[in-house]
Structure 1
Amino acid sequence: MVRLFTTWLVPVAFTLLGFGLNIKSATAQMIDEFSATYDVLAFSRSVTPSITASTLSGTSTDAPYGLTTINGLTYSVVDPITGFFRFNTDPTVFGLQNIPSSEVVFGSGTNKLFGTDSATGIIDFASLTATATGIFTITGGEGIFTGASGTLNFSEVDTLSLDPTIPTRARATVNGIIYVPPVQKVPEPTVTTTLLAIGLIASSFELRKRYSRNRR
């Protein structure tokens, strides 16, 4: 009987010890709302007679989490008659098969977001302005955004120039939800539960000693 009791008691002690650990749930997700406005410069070059590659760089004064910069490379095609245009970080969308895909990066410090973008817009040739709307698809990140996912909607107004040496200026508003996996914490036992578990283990050894003396 004592042996059976001891065999049962020790697993119970470790079970109680497990309940005393502070472990964050691995299934929960932290959701961060994001909203910011960026002033962007786009320097463009021709890749083919109809496809342009634009290098983007911009800053924000209201972006949270330290994501105050934006940098990237996009490819675009413009209809010179209607003014309709579209751009994408994936060059294969425009039939460019031998060029690697690019990305957009928010932030330049510890916290960063990585993503791709896709957008469409229209150019007003009379005023040399353009408007566009699109989506950033988040593919990952660094710092507090490690493993991030989600989508950010954006809209922008561009000021164009007929001089190729002068970059396009854009004011882009970005907003959406960022999903971030929880940070796994190292288990830390609480004092009360640990003492209880140790007491139960000690009791099992004492019962075993008494049982051994009684058999002599």
Structure 2
Amino acid sequence: MTLRSHSICLVPLIFSLVSVGASPAKAITQTIYPFDVVYNTEVTLTPIPSTNVSKAFVSGFNSDAPYGLTNFLSINNYSRIDPNTGKLVFFQDPAKFGLQGLPSGRDEFFGSGDDKLFGSSSATASFDFINRKLVGSGTITITGGAGRFSDATGIFNFSEIESLEQDPTAPLKGQAFLSGSFQTPQKTPEPRTNATLFGICVIGIGLMLRRPYLEASG
């Protein structure tokens, strides 16, 4: 009778051990990275034949950019003049201009290592003919990354200035000013209790099995 009662009491302990050890809980936290940088940029605008749309390619570089993200690329940006405002509007979805069969654009920040940020952008720009400048602004939405920035999300606001007093057949050179932040998820495992519970269980089983033996020998 004594051994049977001990066996019954042992069942909840074993069940608890299996339940806790089967799927340890995860606590998700966010690591936030401020991002303020100025890239020296080059912008190339290429007209798309038989349309009023141009394709823009933007590259940027800053050897001192934070987190080693020294290079910036923005490719397949589609642009045309908004007749209502007289401003250039930029989108990375060609369908917004009624264009089909063209690749969507993307943004990428990278350096010499494996760390990268990926995103998409939209912008507007206007011609300042008095000061001979092209002045633009917009946002970059971070949608992913690589290396330590895997699954990154965030928003960068930017402004950009290019001088119009340059060779019209060459890329426009200027600067892009970016400000914002991005974050990455960090999964932190809860303290594991498997080893502790297992030790308690082993000790408990030993005591329960030994007690009937001592009672019988006594």
Relative to structure 2, which stretch is displaced further, 43-52 or 30-39?
43-52
Residue 137 of structure 1, aligned match among 124, 137, 141: 141
For the pair 1:6 / 2:6, whether they are aligned, the reply is no
Q: CA deviation at 1:111?
A: 0.8
In the alignment, what sits opposite 1:113?
Answer: 117
Residue 167 and residue 81 in structure 1: after superposition, are their counterparts in 2 closer, same or farther (change >3 A)? farther
In the alignment, what sits opposite 1:90?
Answer: 93
**Quick one: which amino acid aligns to residue 172 of structure 1?**
A
For the pair 1:72 / 2:74, whether they are aligned, the reply is yes
Residue 163 of structure 2, aligned match among 145, 150, 159: 159
Deviations, residues 53-85 of structure 1 (Å, cap 9, x unaligned): 122211023421111100121221136997521
Cα contact 1:66–1:107 (8 A) shared by 2: yes
> Counterparts of 2:155 and 2:56 in 1: how far apart (Å)?
22
> Counterparts of 2:178 and 2:64 in 1: how far apart (Å)?
11
The within-5 A match list for 1:30-109 is 30-48=31-49, 49-73=51-75, 74-78=77-81, 84-108=87-111, 109=113
Between the two proteins, the alignment pairs up a number of residues equal to: 209
> Counterparts of 1:115 and 1:17 in 2: how far apart (Å)?
39
Cα contact 1:9–1:204 (8 A) shared by 2: no
**Quick one: which amino acid aligns to residue 129 of structure 2?**
F
Cα contact 2:166–2:172 (8 A) shared by 1: no
Deviations, residues 103-152 of structure 1 (Å, cap 9, x unaligned): 01011431111111111121023443111110001121111111111211
In the alignment, what sits opposite 1:175?
Answer: 179
Relative to structure 2, which stretch is displaced further, 31-40 or 120-129?
120-129
Aligned-pair Cα RMSD in Å: 3.1
Q: Percent identity?
A: 32
Residue 205 and residue 17 in structure 1: after superposition, are their counterparts in 2 closer, same or farther (change >3 A)? farther
**Quick one: which amino acid aligns to residue 143 of structure 1?**
G
> Counterparts of 1:42 and 1:173 in 2: how far apart (Å)?
14
Which segments of 5 or more consecutive residues in structure 2 lack a partner in the other structure? none
Q: CA deviation at 1:164?
A: 3.8
> So what's the TM-score if we normalise by structure 1?
0.81
**Quick one: which amino acid aligns to residue 52 of structure 2?**
S
> Counterparts of 1:207 and 1:79 in 2: how far apart (Å)?
84
> So what's the TM-score if we normalise by structure 2?
0.80
Cα contact 2:27–2:187 (8 A) shared by 1: no
> Counterparts of 1:2 and 1:156 in 2: how far apart (Å)?
76
**Quick one: which amino acid aligns to residue 105 of structure 1?**
E
Which segments of 5 or more consecutive residues in structure 1 lack a partner in the other structure? none
> Counterparts of 2:85 and 2:210 in 1: how far apart (Å)?
93
